[in-house]
Structure 1
Amino acid sequence: MGRRLMEYTALGKTNFHVSRLGLGGAPLGGDYGDVTDEQAIRVIDAALDFGINFIDTAPLYGGGESERRVGLALKGKRNRVILATKAVVRGVPYTYENTLRSVEESLKRLQTDYLDLIQLHELESVSYEEAMEGTIEAFLKLKREGTVRAIGVNAGQLNRLLPFVREGTIDTIQTFGRYTLLDYTARDELLPLTRYANVGVIHGSPLCMGLLTEQPAPFLYKYPDKLAEGERRKQQLEFLRKGKSNGLVEPAMRFSLACPDIAVTLTGTTSVEELTRNVTYCDGKGLSAEDESRVLALFPGQPLQ
């Protein structure tokens, strides 16, 4: 079933042919609740069976546990995926040496000798100059050597991504929660710029950190204003529910998956059932033209802070 449904596209200027739905690695590391090796392997195996060929992880997730579990699951199957991870863990300086060390440790956990994509994790933690002189310079060395095939940067704050796209060195960007039913500010400046520069776009958290489900991510309760604003915006999206329980999940997934400027929409899960459901939305059908117009008229230029 999954293989018949799955859509594929090009990831920017890379030569990667990627599934529109990718598997995000944070839950596999236990960041959202306890998970066993067996659970993680079961989800990854199911993803491969469904035709998902893009897996995104990071050393930050579960303190390396996500990478280790991905490595376990991909034994003998490494050539079936575009494998992406990130470099330099929060709190560690983004120097050239630290970046090389971070990648070396990731390769060991992932049980591979090359990465398809390496991304600078959390641009919010480093200045543009430091990133270019340290981490990006290290990435370029690794790319010349063939240890990595493509390089990218990751940030939640869209303004941190723009100078890297303009500079022209990177192949991909990754952001999260910025092309959702509650916040679609990526379409204002970032997506037109990536389209012009042919930089591949990876979008995480299409459900806006759970705000578009009945169970927002626990950490959001530390930000009551954001939670309240998210709930206020959800009330204006009632027309999308179509009377269904948890009825914003499908339109939210379709909204991101159908965006022509987003190559990969990530789903993070430890549930084969949830993964199976999300795969069914990979049939090329977005929101109706009328529903999309109504959504885009609600919160133009208004980031969910």
Structure 2
Amino acid sequence: MKTVSLGNTGIQVPVLAMGAASLGSIYHPVSQQQANETVSAALENGVNYFDVAPYYGLTKAEAALGKALQGVPRHQYTLATKVGRYGDSLWDFSREATLRSIDESLSRLGTDYIDVIQCHDIEYGDIPQLLDEALPVLRELKANGVVRNIGITGYQLDRLEQVACEQKVDTVMAYCTWTLQDRRLGNVARRLNQAGIGVLNASPLSMGLLTRGGAPQWHPAHQSVQQVCREVSALCDRKGVNISQVALQFALTTAAEHGIATTVIGTASAENMLDNVRWSDRPLDDELLAQIDALMAPVLNIGWDILPGNGGKAQK
């Protein structure tokens, strides 16, 4: 697996990273054995950057990932987790909550340091509290070696860019904004990259929007966006290819030119992980992409912050 530099962190990340949220059984039950097999498949194929959070499965994902990594030499993988979000509508960026969260994450993950600690979905939390309490305590912990790098995550790109540059964080992870349907992260990522900030693109399948099964019922994308994505999926099927494959290939093959270091895709299946690895090695079909672009044009870059749908974060 090809690796690239994650901003100025000194970390070499694989161009494909594993999101571990689903190890917390948030979509369907996942056994520890399944978690072990998925993590093992990732490591065997050079996917050694793992992103998780206390919020995912309400601590279950961290616990499952920690157990799956037992026995693996610590220097062989990079671990990213988060602070600040602890429920569907529960954010706490206070100093006390941040310290407690990191202690608990270290215990669940079975490690004594975290490579990348990220403030989770910052636009929905208390920004003054984030700036005055969470980030200062994270800097203290960085000075002590408990965390190695500090990042922020979220969906609203203007807020992410402003906070990242003003606070000089090490990484930014944005989700659902560098996909076949939404490509707004590109220009932002270039600017962040020029500032030495590592950029991670999460959810290249846009939380299920760009899959054969289509968006789940709770998805915040507008129905007009969902309909076009279903048409794109049908086009891919007629061409004999899975839309998920095309979506992942698009994200991977266009990342570098836009300053995106790695693409984080979630899975709790060794089989899916191996599919992702295999797809990452295949070239993108430019003719098919042109046809997809033509279909996608009416809804390109129409996120749920622009045209809200019926659920999810559109309601927050």
| Secondary structure at 1:277 match in 2 | helix
Kept in 1: contact 2:204–2:251 (CA 8 A): yes
Cα deviation, residue 93, structure 1: 2.2
Query: Structure 2: 5+ residue runs without aligned partners?
Result: 308-316
CA distance in 1, matches of 2:282, 2:5: 15
Distance 1:219 1:29, change over 3 A: farther
Letter in 2 for 1:70: L
Kept in 2: contact 1:53–1:80 (CA 8 A): yes
Q: Which moved more, 1:88-97 or 1:144-153?
A: 88-97
CA distance in 1, matches of 2:285, 2:138: 38
Letter in 2 for 1:21: L
CA distance in 1, matches of 2:284, 2:98: 39
Distance 1:289 1:201, change over 3 A: farther
Kept in 2: contact 1:182–1:234 (CA 8 A): no
CA distance in 2, matches of 1:193, 1:172: 13
Query: Structure 1: 5+ residue runs without aligned partners?
Result: 1-5
Cα deviation, residue 113, structure 1: 0.4
Kept in 2: contact 1:257–1:286 (CA 8 A): no
Cα deviation, residue 290, structure 1: 8.1
- 2:138 alignment counterpart: 139
Distance 1:253 1:236, change over 3 A: closer
- 2:313 alignment counterpart: none
TM-align CA RMSD? 2.3
CA distance in 2, matches of 1:107, 1:61: 15
Q: Which moved more, 1:191-200 or 1:136-145?
A: 191-200
| Secondary structure at 1:55 match in 2 | strand
| Secondary structure at 2:199 match in 1 | strand
Cα deviation, residue 191, structure 1: 1.6
| Secondary structure at 1:254 match in 2 | helix
| Aligned-pair identity (%) | 32
TM-score normalised according to structure 1 size: 0.89
Kept in 2: contact 1:203–1:265 (CA 8 A): yes
- Once the two structures are superposed, the pairs formed by residues 13-52 of structure 1 within 5 Å of their partners are 13-52=8-47
CA distance in 2, matches of 1:236, 1:37: 35
TM-score normalised according to structure 2 size: 0.86
Cα deviation, residue 212, structure 1: 1.2
Cα deviation, residue 294, structure 1: 6.4
CA distance in 2, matches of 1:168, 1:131: 11
Aligned residue pair count: 296
Kept in 2: contact 1:255–1:287 (CA 8 A): no
| Secondary structure at 2:9 match in 1 | coil
Kept in 2: contact 1:7–1:282 (CA 8 A): no
Distance 1:284 1:143, change over 3 A: farther
Cα deviation, residue 133, structure 1: 0.8
CA distance in 1, matches of 2:28, 2:292: 36
CA distance in 2, matches of 1:236, 1:73: 36
- 1:196 alignment counterpart: 194
Deviations 1:82-102 (A, max 9, x none): 100001224142111211111
Kept in 2: contact 1:7–1:284 (CA 8 A): no
CA distance in 2, matches of 1:143, 1:292: 45
- 1:266 alignment counterpart: 264
CA distance in 1, matches of 2:277, 2:178: 19
Cα deviation, residue 239, structure 1: 5.3
